[in-house]
Amino acid sequence: MSLLRLAYCKREVFNMASNYSLLLLFLVFAGTFLETKGKLTPKFYSSKCPKALSIVQEEVVAAIKNETRIGASLLRLHFHDCFVNGCDASVLLDDTSSFVGEKTAAPNNNSIRGFEVVDHIKAKLEKACPGVVSCADLLALAARDSVVYLGGPSWKVRLGRRDSTTASRSAANTSIPPPTSNISSLISNFAAQNLSLRDLVALSGSHTIGLARCTSFRSRIYNESTIDAAFANSLQGSCPRSGNDDNLANLDHQTPTHFDNLYYKNLLKVKGLLHSDQELFNGTSSADKLVKIYANNTFAFFEHFAKAMINMGNIEPLTGSQGEIRTNCRKVN
């Protein structure tokens, strides 16, 4: 082979290698682009707003130190958001002249709270990275950070949600299960969100923290037989047959500010505060087995709860060019 021919062959090999390298680089970039545009990922803000996660965590911890109850409130906001047309922060929108928001829906009115804390966190995020971090992602992160600070499990929150530009009071009225739900309606409600029976029982464990209003458990403590008599009597003093609707009781009467598995132990003793709680262990459904498992194995509960929170956080997120990134979580831009 002549030297000229050899040089030509080497150049062709070099060009092929260069083209192959460029193709690989393109595929990696395209994959990253598609993941960013269409899927949620824990690293969504790694370059866009590196301090986003630490800002949310710090502010959540400060808020809980100021008022322990707020941890449960932030967790509940995420749940009530995701169950109404997906995790899009629609629950945070105030009423306007053009639509009625979800805050006054039956499951939310005089019940959900924590909006001022969300406002404060959002202001911090806007100062650090204007127009970057969505209110929907803020709720997802705040829920995780609340659980962790109160002693529960951690998980990698998938991020990249965008915020809705509208809300639906009617959807909130029909999509969020009421405390009077029976086990069959609970299963159907969660299945409508592509959540399994295990997700249902594990996510219900969030009632190991927080408080409930008298109006949500009054009927149970006066009219039901599947409740420990002494437990019911202990609640009747602060929750009479009429009046005092806003008086509060601990969802977990043993450790209401610590995220643990005692919620399930309470169910085994028919000491669930809400009718919907005790329905998970009523002797007639497949949920009974899971309640027993979680009551006896904190690790199993924590593992399944973390996975269920990821599943819930994946309910119909807005991504890519859908929706917007609100500057103020209470109103559209």
- Spell out the domains of the chain, with CATH numbers in brackets: 51-175 (1.10.520.10), 183-312 (1.10.420.10)
State the average pLDDT over residues 161-168: 96
Neighbours of 46 (CB within 10 A): 12
Q: What is the dihedral of CA 243, 282, 226, 182, to 10 degrees?
A: 30
Is residue 148 part of an annotated ligand binding site?
Answer: no
Secondary structure class of 317 (helix, strand, coil): coil
More confident residue, 149 or 17: 149
Token representation of residue 259: 């995220």
CB 225 within 8 A of CB 278: no
Q: Poorest-confidence range of 15-24, 92-101, 151-160?
A: 15-24
* pLDDT, position 26: 47
State the average pLDDT over residues 240-250: 96
* pLDDT, position 5: 52
State the average pLDDT over residues 121-128: 98
State the average pLDDT over residues 32-50: 78
Is residue 246 part of an annotated ligand binding site?
Answer: no
- Whether 304 sits among the annotated catalytic residues: the reply is no
Span 56-72, pLDDT tens digits: 999 999 999 999 999 99
- Specify the pairing of strand 248-250 against strand 211-213: antiparallel
* pLDDT, position 262: 98
Is residue 319 part of an annotated ligand binding site?
Answer: no
State the average pLDDT over residues 212-223: 97
CA distance 217 to 112: 16
Is residue 132 part of an annotated ligand binding site?
Answer: no
* pLDDT, position 98: 83
State the average pLDDT over residues 20-44: 58
Is residue 59 part of an annotated ligand binding site?
Answer: no
* pLDDT, position 97: 87
Q: Which of left, alpha, beta for 283 (phi over 0: left; psi -120 to 50: alpha)? A: left
Mean pLDDT (the chain) is 91
Span 26-37, pLDDT tens digits: 444 444 444 445
Is residue 152 part of an annotated ligand binding site?
Answer: no
Catalytic one of 78, 80, 275, 304: 80
| CA nearest neighbour of 61 among 50, 47, 72, 71 | 71
Token representation of residue 310: 């990821």
* pLDDT, position 12: 52
Q: Poorest-confidence range of 8-22, 140-154, 209-223?
A: 8-22
Span 259-294, pLDDT tens digits: 999 999 999 999 999 999 999 999 877 999 999 999
| Position 197 confidence tier, pLDDT thresholds 50, 70, 90 | very high
Kindly report the pTM of this predicted structure: 0.88
State the average pLDDT over residues 228-236: 97
Is residue 88 part of an annotated ligand binding site?
Answer: yes
* pLDDT, position 38: 64
Is residue 174 part of an annotated ligand binding site?
Answer: no
Whether residue 22 is predicted with pLDDT greater than 70 in this model: the reply is no
Whether residue 130 is predicted with pLDDT greater than 80 in this model: the reply is yes
State the average pLDDT over residues 198-213: 98
